[in-house]
Structure 1
Amino acid sequence: MTTTLSELEAQLAALKQDATNAIAAASTLAQLEELRVGYLGKKGQLSKVLGGLGKLDASDRPRIGALANEVKEALQNDLDRKRTTLQEAQIQAALESETLDVTMPGVYRPLGRKHPLNSTIDRIVDIFVGLGYTVAQGPEMETDYYNFEALNTPADHPARDMQDTFYLPDGNLLRTHTSSVQIRYMEENEPPIRIVAPGRCYRRDTVDATHSAVFHQVEILAVDQGLTFTDLKGTIKVFLEEMFGAELPIRFRGSYFPFTEPSAEVDVQWQGRWLEVMGCGMVDPNVLKKVGYDPEVYTGFAAGFGAERFAMVLHQIDDVRRMYSSDLRFLRQF
């Protein structure tokens, strides 16, 4: 059956009118895309109409081709304008739904406060970082080796009685000090080293105003060639002056720790009385040997103290248990 020129012209005119009406009625971008594919796609209605070109006389084909291009261009323009309109409407709807009414009262969210214990630890760490120390950390669940053996405290050593701890079914334990961090760090690094190790520790202490089974400790360690007790004293003096904000009287009393030799306790004169604040000493040669350091070449010093004690002194807190009670009446003071 032969398709006439007038028939194709009528089909193109009808297609254009239908498509124009459908595009104008589209309410979403998804609908608009369906119309584009349905009318102008490879298998769309325009392509079907043009399928009749082969049945026309050769002289009529250019006219229908030109008319088809006009229809296609007109519909493409309609699609573009409608797409722009729908996109603008979509943006406007989003803006209206997300508009903030500045006249409405705001929702009050109280600002958080830094816990006095955390602020004390941060202050301590900042001082030592300023002195060139690197922060080091380790696991709270430790092996007997790192917590005791490597620190010159074998199984039958009486010093273990003072650090009775919580043992786990697999033979591990909850660390009693952050000294285990020193061993782990020295195993993985060569001298010179200077580290500060803050962290949570555990001991089977009877809980009272000055003791807790869970507490926080900060330790420092320096290892290098030629370090002496004088270097240790100078470091502690600078730290305490920075910490307490004054040039306080300081005294060193001879003491004993299995992992340092010689060892000392450090007291400061605070508000008219002597207050013990930390223990310290030169790293025992046996500890250096455990981590593969030659004690004939390297020496080191270490010091450790409880962060809770410093926080109690600085903030005049009378009971360590207040730090763990989560009582807002207490915490809001800081």
Structure 2
Amino acid sequence: MNDLDQLLQSAQAEFAAANTPADLENAKARFLGKSGRVTELMKGLAALTVEKKKSRGAEINQLKQGIESALTARRQQLADAELALQLKAEALDVSLPGRQRGTGGLHPITRAMERIEAIFGSMGFDVADGPEIETDWFSFSALNNPENHPARSMQDTFYVDMKDEGGRWFNLRPHTSPMQIRYAQAHARRYAHQASTPEGMPEIRVIAPGRTYRVDSDATHSPMFHQVEGLWVGENISFKDLKSVYLNFITAFFETDALELRFRPSYFPFTEPSAEIDIMFESGPLKGRWLEVSGAGQVHPQVIRNMGLDPERYIGFAFGSGIDRLAMLRYGVNDLRLFFDGDLRFLSQFK
């Protein structure tokens, strides 16, 4: 074995011993660098004769090619090893099932609203929907609640900086009660031709669920909340009918007969007499506690008149219940804000 073969083997051995790209580059410099051993051999050609230069130069070039080939092979090995480590660190378990989009569900307030509509629908009530931005007249005045009336203080809140053609302000409705007037007026116009007939017009029997707005925010109140307004007007509708309808509704909504219903005297400008409706469960975590669920009463004669009807002929009752509160009681939720935080951990329980 000549000296060039030994040099090639020495280079191959050092390259193989290099465990990092930096070590490999240092080994390369010892053989192919400016002061490397192959470079020194090339410099030594100057002292040889022309004939020996040709043969010796060819041998040194062959040696250089062999060293460069060994260097390239080791570089590739180190790169492959580094890639293998990276792939191992970033490995994906392709045996896992793919991530799928979760199935959605109805919001608990929507579920409660649909349940309310179905229950009252079974009792012959229509469902009405109307604007959330109302005139001051529909929100208050038509409901016997004129300007500067003290009963407005809790509701006279969100206003829009504009007026209608009659100079009346617009507001975000504080209740769905304006639908009493809107629906009754449309109903009265539809059956105006029957006003003079013995049978008169058909009874008004309607609920109006929807969003409402007031400046209020705590564990049981929200600036935006949901309310269902109920109205039944005819020629002989009494408090007895109100109690019967609401008792049927509340037992169907909570799916239990094990509850009591009571009426407490109260005041609302749009009803006379007026009452708060309370319920008490006979079992469960709320057993024995009276819980307010609605305001109600006999529709005030002035409101009947504003509907376009004769208060001497037509009478009826109205009630307003908080859908959010009913949902809280039905689902055992103790903080109203959970319904509107958008936390999927909470909402997914109702799918």
Query: TM range, normalised to the smaller chain?
Result: 0.5 to 0.7
CA contact (8 A) 1:165 1:175 kept: no
Deviation at 1:290, TM superposition (A): 1.1
Deviation at 1:239, TM superposition (A): 0.7
1:254 & 1:304 partners in 2: Cα distance? Answer: 15
Identity of counterpart residues, as a percentage? 52
1:272 & 1:265 partners in 2: Cα distance? Answer: 18
Deviation at 1:330, TM superposition (A): 0.5
1:224 & 1:295 partners in 2: Cα distance? Answer: 10
Which residue number corresponds to residue 27 of structure 1? none
Does the residue aligned with 1:273 lie in a helix, a strand or coil?
A: coil
Does the residue aligned with 2:159 lie in a helix, a strand or coil?
A: coil
* Letter of the structure 2 residue corresponding to residue 267 of structure 1: D
The RMSD of aligned alpha carbons is: 1.2
* Letter of the structure 1 residue corresponding to residue 272 of structure 2: E
* Letter of the structure 1 residue corresponding to residue 100 of structure 2: Y
TM score, norm. by length of structure 1: 0.67
Which residue number corresponds to residue 183 of structure 2? 185
2:150 & 2:99 partners in 1: Cα distance? Answer: 59
Does the residue aligned with 2:112 lie in a helix, a strand or coil?
A: helix
Instruction: Determine if the alignment matches structure 1 residue 260 to structure 2 residue 271.
Output: yes
Q: Once the two structures are superposed, what CA deviation does each residue of 1:217-255 show, in whole Å capped at 9, x if it has no partner? A: 001101111111111111111111111112211111111
Pairing partner for 1:281 from 297, 302, 305: 297
Which residue number corresponds to residue 312 of structure 2? 296
2:321 & 2:307 partners in 1: Cα distance? Answer: 23
Does the residue aligned with 1:329 lie in a helix, a strand or coil?
A: helix
Which residue number corresponds to residue 172 of structure 1? 170
Which residue number corresponds to residue 204 of structure 1? 215
- Structure index of larger Rg: 2
Does the residue aligned with 1:332 lie in a helix, a strand or coil?
A: helix
Runs of 4+ in 1 over 4 A off after TM superposition: none
* Letter of the structure 1 residue corresponding to residue 314 of structure 2: Y
Which residue number corresponds to residue 75 of structure 2? none
Does the residue aligned with 1:269 lie in a helix, a strand or coil?
A: strand
Instruction: Determine if the alignment matches structure 1 residue 149 to structure 2 residue 141.
Output: yes
1:162 & 1:328 partners in 2: Cα distance? Answer: 33
Pairing partner for 1:108 from 100, 103, 117: 100
TM score, norm. by length of structure 2: 0.64
Deviation at 1:116, TM superposition (A): 0.8
Deviation at 1:106, TM superposition (A): 7.7
Matches within 5 A, 1:103-142: 108-142=100-134
* Letter of the structure 1 residue corresponding to residue 245 of structure 2: T
Pairing partner for 1:162 from 133, 154, 179: 154
Which residue number corresponds to residue 256 of structure 2? 246
Q: Once the two structures are superposed, what CA deviation does each residue of 1:93-147 show, in whole Å capped at 9, x if it has no partner? A: xxxxxxxxxxxx8873321111111101111111000000000011000000000
Q: Which runs of 5+ in 1 are unaligned?
A: 1-104
Does the residue aligned with 1:145 lie in a helix, a strand or coil?
A: helix
Deviation at 1:320, TM superposition (A): 0.6
* Letter of the structure 2 residue corresponding to residue 327 of structure 1: D
CA contact (8 A) 1:167 1:174 kept: yes
Deviation at 1:164, TM superposition (A): 2.7
Instruction: Determine if the alignment matches structure 1 residue 307 to structure 2 residue 305.
Output: no
Tell me which moved more, 319-328 or 106-115.
106-115
1:239 & 1:223 partners in 2: Cα distance? Answer: 18
Does the residue aligned with 2:241 lie in a helix, a strand or coil?
A: helix
Which residue number corresponds to residue 332 of structure 2? 316
Does the residue aligned with 1:292 lie in a helix, a strand or coil?
A: coil
Does the residue aligned with 1:196 lie in a helix, a strand or coil?
A: strand
